[in-house]
Amino acid sequence: MNRHRPTTSTQASGATLTEVLMSMMILSIGVLSVASLFPVGILSSARATQLTHAALLRQNAEAVLALNSNLIHDPDGDGNYREHNGTIYAVDLLGWARIGPQDTPQTRSDYFQTLQANPQTSSGVACFWGNQPVAGGQSFRYGIRRFHGFEESDKDRLCPYTNFAHTSNPQQRLIRSDSVIGDEAQSLVGSRDDWLELFRTTAKFNAVANNQFQLVIDPSVDLRSVKQQWHAEDLNGNDQLDPGEDINGNGVIDGVPIRISLIDPEGRHSQVRNVPFTAAITPNASGGGGTIGPLVFDAPAVNRITEIIIEVQNARFSWMMTVRKPSFSHGGLPANHPGAAAPASVDLVVFFQRPFGRSNETFYQVQSTVGADLQPGVAQFDDNGNGVIDDANEFFWADSDDRFSLKVTWNSSLIDRPPIASGRFVFDLKHGQWYRVRNIIGETTTGASSSIEFTVDRPLPDPLVLTAGGMMFPKGIIAVFPLGTK
């Protein structure tokens, strides 16, 4: 008997090489598209973090100004509230302190002698915000006055205004060093979000009380300079507040915060402690080293500590102000009366990792132009109704792109190219106004003469010409906050 076995026909199927390659191409496009979002997300996150710090710093700055309005109305600390009316100036505590002799063609003593004769052309950049090299020598043209907000005695050390009568003031004996002014300025205008290591040393302790220990610092460490930063307000080093030393008015000798990290090599008992301003840092009378504390530490863990790290708070974010004051009728009030000060329009400028030095404060000659449409006023329109379309008298007409369009010109043999880019902030020295670059129209170079045409985010009040004012393009600015009238 024949058995019939049903047969099944199976046909093996699979993907061709072409199909595999097509699938891989589609997959790679998707992966690349997703991957491209990561850098954008990281940049957006970093930008959001910076803006958050900037907003917090603005709140801090407004609190400082609420307690000390003299930073705006008497920024040189000479008691004259009237002399700044009708002027534009910068209040830049940290910038003033960080601009040192290396940024001036002459020494500070030379500058002090020459400023009285010609304050606008003397060589020295700490007293002025904005500078421009002049061909044929080491002299500079300067922008607006820069003030530091400290006591009059500090101002007289480098930046006398125009009145030298007060230089015999006996309070001038109380003069801060550059480093102390920098520490005070950083504590006032900085947002301390980072820690900078000063030194590491072997761990040595003196037990003082239950869980209280005094740190013994090796003589190789310059503990005196550490204390100078930590107690920056203590000018004469007598460990008490003398008249004129309490800059922030909190009744405590303070300065730059310092912290101590105790390191256990096994990682089990490491500890971090801030050094309170009411604690003690005691350098040795001669040489380096000394003691810190007493501070509270976990007693069982102290025996496991092998290394001590001393860190100081580092202000990556900082602020300065630009101030515009109109002419003001003071009603006959004396110059030393606060009512003689004109109302001030204040802009708060927030930096991230601000570059210090003359190169970041160069100003450039800028003029208004007809803009991208290449016509004065609104193109193809008789703005002034005189029967002629686009005549020269229509330049800078309301609603035209002329009011937003500018051209910066510089001599490349004297000045570097301005750090101009879309989104960056620029400062108008003539009007004391901040703008943001919107677009770069074009750049040209003929020999040593170069120029860039660009637009800004809001209209200028009147045209800029090459012979008046100029513009600065400082790097490191993340936000400019108008604080209104103060």
- Is 469 in a helix, a strand, or coil? coil
Give the model's pLDDT for residue 408.
92
Does residue 94 sit in helix, strand or coil? helix
277 in Cβ contact with 254 (< 8 Å): yes
* pTM for the model: 0.69
* Res 261: pLDDT: 85
Neighbours of 213 (CB within 10 A): 22
For residue 16, how many C-alpha atoms fall within 13 Å in the half-sphere facing its CB?
3
Q: Which of 278, 293, 269 is closest to 204 using CA atoms?
A: 293
Residue 312: predicted pLDDT = 80
* Residue 111: C-alpha distances to residues 134, 141, 178, 304, 362 (Å): 17, 14, 16, 55, 19
What's the confidence (pLDDT) of residue 155? 39
Tokens 């090599």 label which residue?
265
> Which contiguous run of DSSP H or E holds residue 322?
strand 307-324
List the Cα angle 95/87/184 in 5-degree steps: 25
Separation between Cα atoms, residue 359 and residue 103, nearest integer Å = 9
Structure confidence at residue 435 (pLDDT)? 96
Tokens of 139: 């002299």
Whether 115 contacts 155, CB under 8 Å? no
Measured in degrees and rounded to the nearest 5, phi and psi for residue 103 equal -100, 10
Residue 22, token pair as written in the block = 């097509």
H or E stretch covering 200: strand 190-202
Q: For strand 258-263 and strand 212-217, is the pairing parallel, antiparallel, or unpaired? A: unpaired
User: What separation in angstroms does the CA of 480 have from each of 56, 93, 120, 423?
Assistant: 13, 17, 27, 12
* The length of the chain, given as a count of residues: 486
Domain boundaries in the chain? 70-175+319-351, 204-305, 362-485
- pLDDT tens by residue, the chain, 486 residues: 555 555 555 555 667 888 888 888 888 888 877 777 767 677 777 778 888 888 888 998 898 888 888 889 988 777 888 888 998 999 988 887 666 444 443 333 333 333 334 444 333 456 778 877 766 544 556 778 888 776 543 434 444 333 322 233 333 323 344 444 556 677 778 776 677 788 888 888 888 888 888 888 888 888 888 887 777 777 667 777 777 666 666 777 777 778 888 888 776 767 888 888 778 888 888 878 888 888 887 777 777 888 888 888 777 888 999 999 998 877 788 888 888 999 999 999 999 888 877 778 888 889 999 888 888 888 888 888 888 888 888 888 888 888 999 999 998 888 889 999 999 999 998 899 999 999 999 999 998 899 999 999 999 988 888 766 689 999 999 999 999 999
Closest CA to 87 of 347, 429, 464: 429
Q: How is 378-445 classified by DSSP, letter by letter?
A: STTS-TT-SS-TT-GGGTT-TTSGGGGEEEEEEETTTSPPP---TT-EEEETTTTEEEEEEEEEEEEE
